Structure 1
Amino acid sequence: MQVEQIEQRLLEHFPSSEVAVNGDGSHFDVRVVSEAFAGLRAVKRQQLVYAAVNEWIRDGSLHAINIKALTPDEAQS
């Protein structure tokens, strides 16, 4: 699994968002800043991000993911 693949997938699911991915092949840290998260609790935000990469989690390509999902206002704080 490549960082670029995850970034591309997240940008497809969260257009006009800021996406940053760091990782080593199977473990990744993901930061998504999107208006789509406005008004949502942290668990729902993570569920949305997981949904974008779920096929890779199921097939074992992506073993572990640490998610930080923020609104633009939260990212500036």
Structure 2
Amino acid sequence: MMTAEHLRSLIAAGLPCDHLEVTGDGRHWAAVIVSPAFEGRRAIQRHQMVYATLGERIHNDEVHALSMKTYTPDEWRARAGTR
């Protein structure tokens, strides 16, 4: 069974992350991902980049559902300033 730490390490291995949070119950996951690789990309493209890091784990149902919030470092800093 997938763990939050394992999923976190898979994402971090495939994307440079300034910040990465992963929570979930073993099949349904939520992630907050801050990466400079997202710069200039739309949300769907960012999600596709994350899915690509997970490869077959998405297709073989090892990760059943993944809800993502994806930010560039500048977006993340701006978001932190509004709290």
TM-score (norm 1): 0.92
Which has the greater radius of gyration?
A: 2
- Quote the Cα distance in structure 2 between the aligned partners of 1:26 and 1:16: 22
- Quote the Cα distance in structure 1 between the aligned partners of 2:51 and 2:58: 8
Shift of the alpha carbon at 1:54?
Answer: 2.9
Alignment-derived partner of residue 31 in structure 1? 32
Q: Contact 1:37/1:71 (CA < 8 Å) preserved in 2?
A: yes
- Quote the Cα distance in structure 2 between the aligned partners of 1:6 and 1:17: 16
Task: Structure 2 unaligned segments of length 5 or more: list them.
Answer: 79-83
The DSSP-based 3-state class of the residue aligned with 1:40 is coil
How many residues are aligned here? 77
Letter in 2 for 1:67: M
Task: Structure 1 unaligned segments of length 5 or more: list them.
Answer: none
Alignment-derived partner of residue 53 in structure 1? 54
The DSSP-based 3-state class of the residue aligned with 2:55 is helix
Q: Are 2:10 and 1:15 aligned?
A: no
Q: CA RMSD in A?
A: 1.1
- Quote the Cα distance in structure 2 between the aligned partners of 1:26 and 1:14: 21
TM-score (norm 2): 0.86
Shift of the alpha carbon at 1:25?
Answer: 0.4
Shift of the alpha carbon at 1:69?
Answer: 1.1
Letter in 1 for 2:36: E
Relative distance call for 1:27 and 1:16 in structure 2 (3 A) is closer
